[in-house]
A and B are shown apart, each in its own frame.
Chain A
């Protein structure tokens, strides 16, 4: 059986809102509100959704960059959600991160060698300076940067090269899983392709698990194994790539896919344009959180929260439509929004 690297159950992160005369808590931002998923060795799970849906908060939660409100996070069989930071420190080697902006995530006062040597030293992965040098050299090879660039400063590199350094730094700790939080979003089209290819190569080479957080659905489809779609702090659908992009089972996923502009002029397809904006995560709507924008919403959606249900093939969706007869289900019985042909 494949090894389970990360398992998250019923994760919640509510940020308090301070206000009022005495600066007390006047409410909460329900950024993540009951999220469960798992990632196996060598597997990429993508978290997709629009800004404010909580996907980055999930990433930061599993990295334990802040305390959690509730829920469980199990990394390589060890529960880390309530672990004191002292005992958590050595475990941080196993989970590393690459952030979106390669310009602000490298210390401008450290040379590349020092940036890459830091995690090696911190986690005691080398016994001598010579060994560190050798490891740093190997990391540069892995991310396809010239070895002699280790003595340069971050500002001497372009955005794509800096992102390679960020990836090398994440790899320096020899992790089992990497969280990529919009890691390719800030890059130009041609550079983005380079980094996507690099991440895929590294995954194949090192058997890394990946939590790939992104809003770019075409990139996600290109490189993921499974996808979880988030809306207002909750997962509304989880499936393997082909089922999610081929037969979306949640109206939000369907609308999201149909909204992506495709590089095919005159592509013929039905677009579902959602009305309005995402409601505030401070006062999420009752019932199904998507009902205020859902084109298929009916009475039950406004009152009852739909549960994430398996359709029998491992494709999970949280939508009441699937409780009714399949023949009347507007989500089924039609071409997927990803199937389009040129005019």
Chain B
């Protein structure tokens, strides 16, 4: 299963560090995270609240206010380091080459602009369309994301739409300029399951029609299994594991990922008689304001030893294409470096 992925590289994040200065010390929200996304690929970043997944997404688009934030490392998009661009150059990329969908469809739309104006805004700004052309394209976009009666909806305001419809408008805005990379931060978390199913289907369809790469930020392992090709697991500001989606769910190698997968009940458990007790990960996520000398997961890990508390484990390829940061994860099928 180690066929090479030879799609061109789109995004390369290397040793990303996003720190925030606070009253009581530096908060290392993201601390040395590296990953890549190829053209047309769907990468999921999973983790619990506070693990730094959203800050990672915001850092890519440089939406972190500086100060109090500070971004270091490099974020290469099509070979260009986004962190070295001027604000003006960055504005030309945002919403054009890279766009973003936020979690809250209720609050991420401007209530005093019509849906059409909001979709048209990016088109007028980046592609120089006039008002009529922008509206015509907005109607097309609404049709693309499956909103009925787009000609009427384009002149309506966000409050006249339901939550699921607003998220469709958000997606329409994000896709209006045919971006190469779409960052979706918990795009379905605020939605009901039947609406979530509609939006996930829509995203999968759009991926084949539009061909954008997607970075999906989520805490829902079900959503990950459904749409991602590759997964990065984050914990306490670090990447602890990365693998193709099938490998990750079949043989999770990091104890945190194992704990996470064990703590979600599976639908259908009462039929297969699998309704056993849920696995718990005891304790709490460590504070990111103190330097952690060893492994970030040491305080909650069932397999912890003295080595873990003292020496941080390096990210190591444990199986082909499967990386984990654990001293004790088994290594299979990889020649020792």
A interface residue numbers (CB < 8 A to B): 50-51, 158, 160, 188-194, 196-197, 200, 215, 217-219, 221-222, 241-242, 245-246, 255-267, 271, 273-274, 277-278, 336, 338-340
Query: Please, how many angstroms separate the alpha-carbon atoms of A190 and B261 in the complex?
Result: 9
Task: For B270, give its contact among A194, A242, A273 (CB under 8 Å).
Answer: A242
| Contact across chains for B278 and A338 when beta carbons are under 8 A apart | no
Which residues on the A side are within 8 Å of B337 (C-beta)? none
| Contact across chains for A263 and B48 when beta carbons are under 8 A apart | no
Nearest 10 pairs of A and B residues by beta carbon: A261-B222, A338-B268, A193-B263, A222-B265, A259-B197, A50-B192, A190-B281, A193-B278, A188-B48, A263-B221
For B197, B265, B268, the residue with the greatest tally of chain A CB atoms inside 10 Å of its CB is B268
Which residues on the A side are within 8 Å of B1 (C-beta)? none
Given A190-B259, A190-B281, A194-B280, the answer on whether A215 and B193 have CB atoms closer than 8 Å is yes
B252 CB to nearest chain A CB (Å): 11
Asked whether any CB of chain A lies closer than 8 Å to the CB of B75, the reply is: no
Which residues on the B side are within 8 Å of A339 (C-beta)? 268, 271
Interface hit among B15-23, B174-182, B223-231, B313-321: B223-231
| Contact across chains for B271 and A197 when beta carbons are under 8 A apart | no
Task: For B268, give its contact among A193, A219, A245 (CB under 8 Å).
Answer: A245
| Contact across chains for A338 and B267 when beta carbons are under 8 A apart | yes
Task: For A196, give its contact among B48, B267, B278 (CB under 8 Å).
Answer: B278
Query: Please, how many angstroms separate the alpha-carbon atoms of A298 and B191 in the complex?
Result: 29
| Contact across chains for B201 and A189 when beta carbons are under 8 A apart | no
| Contact across chains for A245 and B197 when beta carbons are under 8 A apart | no
| Contact across chains for B219 and A261 when beta carbons are under 8 A apart | no
Query: Please, how many angstroms separate the alpha-carbon atoms of A267 and B192 in the complex?
Result: 21
| Contact across chains for B263 and A189 when beta carbons are under 8 A apart | yes
Asked whether any CB of chain A lies closer than 8 Å to the CB of B200, the reply is: yes
Which residues on the A side are within 8 Å of B264 (C-beta)? 189, 193, 218, 263
Query: Please, how many angstroms separate the alpha-carbon atoms of A92 and B167 in the complex?
Result: 41
Asked whether any CB of chain A lies closer than 8 Å to the CB of B332, the reply is: no
| Contact across chains for B197 and A190 when beta carbons are under 8 A apart | no
| Contact across chains for B263 and A271 when beta carbons are under 8 A apart | no
Asked whether any CB of chain A lies closer than 8 Å to the CB of B92, the reply is: no
A-B contact pairs, 18 of them (CB 8 A): A50-B193, A190-B280, A193-B278, A197-B280, A215-B192, A217-B193, A218-B267, A241-B270, A242-B270, A257-B267, A259-B196, A261-B197, A261-B200, A262-B222, A263-B224, A263-B225, A266-B246, A338-B268
Known: A245-B268, A339-B271. 14 other contacts (CB 8 A): A50-B192, A160-B284, A189-B260, A191-B48, A193-B263, A242-B271, A245-B267, A245-B271, A255-B194, A260-B193, A261-B226, A264-B225, A264-B266, A338-B267
A256 CB to nearest chain B CB (Å): 6
| Contact across chains for B195 and A192 when beta carbons are under 8 A apart | no
| Contact across chains for B277 and A197 when beta carbons are under 8 A apart | yes
Task: For A277, give its contact among B195, B226, B282 (CB under 8 Å).
Answer: B195
Task: For A263, give its contact among B193, B198, B249, B281 (CB under 8 Å).
Answer: B249
Task: For A218, give its contact among B48, B49, B226, B265 (CB under 8 Å).
Answer: B265
**Across the two chains, which residue of chain A brings its CB closest to B273?**
A242
Which residues on the A side are within 8 Å of B281 (C-beta)? 190, 193-194
**Across the two chains, which residue of chain A brings its CB closest to B227?**
A261
Query: Please, how many angstroms separate the alpha-carbon atoms of A336 and B268 in the complex?
Result: 9
B153 CB to nearest chain A CB (Å): 13
B217 CB to nearest chain A CB (Å): 14
A46 CB to nearest chain B CB (Å): 12
| Contact across chains for A263 and B222 when beta carbons are under 8 A apart | yes
**Across the two chains, which residue of chain B brings its CB closest to A339?**
B268
**Across the two chains, which residue of chain B brings its CB closest to A220?**
B265
Which residues on the B side are within 8 Å of A256 (C-beta)? 193-194
Asked whether any CB of chain A lies closer than 8 Å to the CB of B86, the reply is: no
Given A193-B280, A196-B278, the answer on whether A259 and B194 have CB atoms closer than 8 Å is yes
Query: Please, how many angstroms separate the alpha-carbon atoms of A263 and B265 in the complex?
Result: 9
Task: For B266, give its contact among A215, A218, A278 (CB under 8 Å).
Answer: A218
Asked whether any CB of chain A lies closer than 8 Å to the CB of B216, the reply is: no
Query: Please, how many angstroms separate the alpha-carbon atoms of A338 and B195 in the complex?
Result: 18
Which residues on the A side are within 8 Å of B269 (C-beta)? 218, 221-222
| Contact across chains for B249 and A259 when beta carbons are under 8 A apart | no
B45 CB to nearest chain A CB (Å): 15
Which residues on the B side are within 8 Å of A273 (C-beta)? 194, 197-198, 201
Asked whether any CB of chain A lies closer than 8 Å to the CB of B33, the reply is: no
| Contact across chains for A188 and B219 when beta carbons are under 8 A apart | yes
Query: Please, how many angstroms separate the alpha-carbon atoms of A167 and B261 in the complex?
Result: 26
Interface bits B227-252 vs A (CB < 8 Å: 1, else 0) = 00000000000000000011001000
Asked whether any CB of chain A lies closer than 8 Å to the CB of B108, the reply is: no
Which residues on the A side are within 8 Å of B196 (C-beta)? 259, 261
A195 CB to nearest chain B CB (Å): 10
Asked whether any CB of chain A lies closer than 8 Å to the CB of B307, the reply is: no
| Contact across chains for B219 and A246 when beta carbons are under 8 A apart | no
Interface bits B189-220 vs A (CB < 8 Å: 1, else 0) = 00011111110110000000000000000011
Query: Please, how many angstroms separate the alpha-carbon atoms of A197 and B90 in the complex?
Result: 48
Query: Please, how many angstroms separate the alpha-carbon atoms of A241 and B198 in the complex?
Result: 26
Query: Please, how many angstroms separate the alpha-carbon atoms of A265 and B223 in the complex?
Result: 9
Asked whether any CB of chain A lies closer than 8 Å to the CB of B57, the reply is: no
B249 CB to nearest chain A CB (Å): 5
A92 CB to nearest chain B CB (Å): 32
